[in-house]
């Protein structure tokens, strides 16, 4: 009998990271892929990207509506509650052997809570990391404590998961699955990307992705304004802006970005979702990536593109030498961009080493999911580290 692997995706970002794992599962005769789609994928406001999933050839086993028309923390909390109810019905019908969750978003938290209560083994990807500026930090470690197998992106993260009491035999350092796209996918060249976008890149091109910081006192609208003000210092640059996610404050930031693009439509393009191929192609062709997305720390260095990382959203994550950290203030952002554009820094970025593996994570994860024992794993014992005292 095939082992049923239920993969949960709630955003365009985690779908891109899970793509090759799902393809590996789909192509393995010993496994059955059960894909459950939720969150932003089902919302026209965020591009209704469930259609992209179906176009990619992945049958959707279930769709779970959880997003409210809200831009508040209370709305996020209510979405978790809706998710628990929806996932309970879905898991009862699908009867998965293991649930696969990636990262640290509230959609994953809802699925983890439900699977734990229903005694379904959980495999968690990208645990052990730190992103101190967002509520995702606590969500990630919470999912770690609910999960039974852990696929981490680097050795320091493996140690941290073990420090949280997880048994070393169940924690595997496989690298970041986001790099698999770069190794496996034929990225678009400049002319093909321009044709697909219906928009021309410039002699200088910036790729901007900024998400609200949900835990600190940072005002996302203010930081977005500071980023846009810094961009105005580079009037010759063409800018691609991707819209923020569904976290509290995301809709107001999106309105600012769209208004900015409307006023400068000759050189600024604002898009809801580029899709993974166009996003990575734009990242490779860009002179600099600006914002606070994890892709600026994981994928951009692997592609040799400098990153200007704004604010504290990614505080605590491993970063390559090609990442410049700056505060969310206009002049600091501008200065960081100028540094990233210098010939010396461009050369440094082109030769930088990624701390997140070499782009073969999906195959490794699939092989583990295929072979790890599932019987009895839901009974967990806390693994105590030996004290140095």
> Mean pLDDT lowest for which of 52-66, 72-86, 240-254, 370-384?
240-254
Closest to 300 (Cα-Cα) out of 313, 290, 314: 290
Closest to 350 (Cα-Cα) out of 324, 314, 320: 320
Question: Quick one: pLDDT at residue 264?
Answer: 95
- Enter the tokens of residue 156: 């320091």
Q: In the chain, which ranges are E strands?
A: 3-9, 31-38, 60-64, 98-102, 122-125, 149-152, 171-173, 205-209, 238-242, 268-271, 288-291, 307-310, 323-326
Write the Ramachandran bin of 211: left for phi over 0, alpha for psi from -120 to 50, otherwise beta: beta
Judge if 163 and 74 occupy the same domain.
yes
Residue 367 makes CB contacts below 8 A (sequence gap 6+) with: none
Judge if 212 and 265 occupy the same domain.
yes
Judge if 166 and 196 occupy the same domain.
no
The predicted model scores a pTM of 0.83
Query: What number is the average pLDDT over the span 127-151?
Result: 90
Could you list the residue range(s) of the whole structural domain that residue 309 is in? Answer: 188-350
- Enter the tokens of residue 221: 């609208």
CATH of the domain at 248: 3.40.50.2000
Q: Is residue 388 part of a domain?
A: no
DSSP-based three-state secondary structure for 36: strand
Q: Is residue 385 part of a domain?
A: no
Residue the block writes with tokens 């239920």 = 6
Judge if 160 and 201 occupy the same domain.
no
Judge if 290 and 310 occupy the same domain.
yes
* Neighbour count for residue 148 (Cβ, 10 Å): 22
Judge if 26 and 71 occupy the same domain.
yes
Q: How many domains does the chain have?
A: 2
pLDDT category of residue 136 using cuts at 50, 70 and 90:
confident
Judge if 64 and 203 occupy the same domain.
no
* Neighbour count for residue 91 (Cβ, 10 Å): 21
Instruction: Please determine, for residue 170, whether its predicted confidence score (pLDDT) is greater than 80.
Output: yes
Judge if 345 and 236 occupy the same domain.
yes
Q: What is the pLDDT of residues 218-236, one digit of tens each?
A: 788 999 999 999 999 999 9
Judge if 116 and 90 occupy the same domain.
yes
């Amino acid at each position: 009998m095939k082992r049923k692997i239920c993969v949960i995706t709630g955003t365009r970002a985690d779908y891109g990271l899970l793509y090759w794992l799902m393809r590996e599962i789909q192509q393995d005769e010993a496994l059955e892929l059960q894909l459950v789609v939720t969150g932003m994928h089902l919302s026209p406001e965020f591009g209704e990207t469930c259609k992209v999933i179906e176009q990619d050839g992945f049958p959707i086993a279930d769709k779970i509506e959880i997003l409210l028309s809200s831009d508040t923390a209370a709305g996020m909390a209510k979405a978790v509650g809706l998710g628990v109810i929806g996932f309970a019905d879905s898991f009862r019908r699908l009867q998965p052997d293991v649930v696969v969750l990636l990262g640290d978003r509230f959609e994953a938290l809802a699925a983890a809570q439900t699977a734990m209560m229903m005694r379904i083994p959980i495999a968690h990807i990208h645990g052990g990391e730190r992103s101190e500026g967002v509520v995702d930090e606590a969500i990630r470690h919470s999912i770690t404590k609910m999960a039974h197998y852990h696929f981490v992106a680097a050795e320091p993260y493996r140690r941290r998961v073990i420090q949280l009491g997880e048994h070393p035999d169940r924690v595997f350092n496989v690298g970041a699955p986001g790099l698999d796209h770069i190794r496996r996918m034929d990225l678009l060249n400049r002319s093909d990307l321009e044709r697909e976008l219906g928009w021309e890149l410039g002699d200088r091109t910036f790729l901007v992705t900024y998400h609200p910081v949900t835990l600190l006192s940072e005002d996302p609208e203010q930081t977005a304004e500071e980023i846009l003000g810094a961009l105005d210092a580079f009037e010759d640059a063409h800018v691609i802006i991707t819209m923020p996610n569904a976290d509290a404050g995301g809709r107001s930031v999106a309105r600012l970005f769209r208004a900015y693009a409307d006023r400068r439509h000759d050189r600024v393009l604002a898009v809801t979702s580029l899709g993974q191929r166009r996003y990575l192609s734009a990242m490779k062709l860009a002179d600099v990536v600006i914002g606070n997305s994890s892709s600026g720390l994981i994928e951009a260095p692997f592609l040799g593109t400098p990153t200007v990382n704004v604010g504290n959203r990614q505080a605590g994550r491993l970063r390559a030498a090609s990442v410049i950290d700056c505060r969310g203030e206009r002049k600091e952002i501008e200065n960081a961009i100028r540094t990233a554009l210098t010939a010396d820094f461009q050369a440094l970025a082109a030769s930088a080493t990624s701390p997140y593996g070499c782009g073969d994570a999906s195959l490794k994860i699939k092989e583990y999911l295929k072979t790890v024992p599932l019987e009895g794993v839901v009974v967990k014992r806390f693994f105590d580290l030996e004290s140095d005292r």
